[in-house]
A = this chain, B = another copy of it.
Amino acid sequence: MKKVINQADDVVEEMLEGFRMAHPGYVRALEGTTVLLRNDAPVSGKVALISGGGSGHEPAHAGYIGTGMLDAAVAGEMFTSPTPDQIIEAIKAVDSGNGVFLVIKNYTGDVMNFEMAREMAEAEGISVEQVVVNDDVAVEDSSFTSGRRGIAGTVFVHKIAGAKAEAGGSLQEVKQMAEKVVANTRSMGVALTPCTIPGSGRPNFQLEDDEIEVGIGIHGEPGIERKKISSADDIAEELLQKVLKDSVDFNDSEVAIIINGLGATPESELYIVNRYVQNRLKESGIKVTHTYVGEYMTSLEMAGFSITVMKVDEEMKQLLDAGADTPAFRR
């Protein structure tokens, strides 16, 4: 697999350097760490939001740093959780005395390391709360996970909990809102190709020229089924039904959706999927209030996409509509 890199060991550091140079109006480095901070952190009077995880999911997580979303992002190595010592530095840097909220995707390493950092911060007198995002309905327990995995629905947590914090919500209010997003968000993905971690020299799995893997994870963890590729509409239908028939009652509801590209899928194909999903939801009596199509949570150069559906109420819609100004998400 050809890559536009220098040394594999330098990928994350050089990526972060290039990111900072592209977005000096948004972020600054926390020296000696892989943490990027909102330029004006700590923001006085505001609960601070931190997310992060393994690299390779860009624009997650640093792309969501800015007004109305994250105060810091902690980058691990490719597909590898950041260490607690990095996370604790981020917590200390963003806390303005109003507490810090951690948005954690449900992977064993992330949960362990973020929780360890949380305990260390609390021992130093900083109030820290967290949510663990597990929107992927595909599988229970996986190579990286106990329970369900956190995927693109995490971006809704960043947006809605971030807006709640920006509006002056307390740490408990931000936590309750994040939990509401998690409780109402379901996702599922499909891969057409694998991806290759820099330096590993080979793809993380193999698919034949006419095969797809349904229910794939964002690190290439196994899904539900490997099968022959069918039409865009058939694939979208399968994912959408799994999402809708999970444990959230979407009947007669209003929803926000993400049609998320995993890295190499052309935007044209994502819009073809969006067309099907919108038509199908309308037929089902479900009203789409907010639509996001693009690359929000990727898996390096994997081809494929995921569908996320979040049931929304009036407050969630208002928080989606609230201003956000970050490199990867603006409104």
Contacts and interface: CB of A to CB of B under 8 A. Distances in A.
A167 interface: no
Given A6-B232, A22-B271, A264-B303, 9 more contacts: A2-B209, A5-B269, A14-B272, A18-B293, A22-B292, A22-B293, A23-B291, A58-B266, A265-B301
B192 A298 contact: no
Interface of A: 2-6, 11-12, 14-19, 21-23, 55-56, 58-59, 63, 192-193, 209-210, 212, 229, 231-233, 235, 259, 263-276, 278, 291-293, 295, 298, 300-301, 303, 305, 330-331
Contacts of A274: 18-19, 21-22
A21 B291 contact: yes
Contact of A266 (B273, B291, B301): B301
Contact of A6 (B6, B233, B298): B233
Contacts of A59: 267
Contact of A268 (B6, B56, B231, B303): B56
A30 B241 CA distance: 33
A210 B201 CA distance: 12
Contacts of A264: 263-264, 301, 303
A269 B263 CA distance: 12
A5 B267 contact: no
Contacts of A21: 274-275, 278, 291
Contacts of A56: 266, 268
Nearest to A275: B18
A231 B301 contact: no
A289 to B, nearest CB: 11
Nearest to A75: B268
A79 B231 CA distance: 22
10 contacts: A2-B209, A2-B229, A3-B269, A4-B270, A18-B273, A18-B278, A264-B301, A264-B303, A267-B295, A330-B331
B19 A271 contact: yes
Given A5-B272, A273-B4, A266 B231 contact: no
Nearest to A192: B2
The 4 A-B pairs with the shortest beta carbon distances in the complex, nearest first, are A18-B271, A18-B275, A264-B264, A58-B267
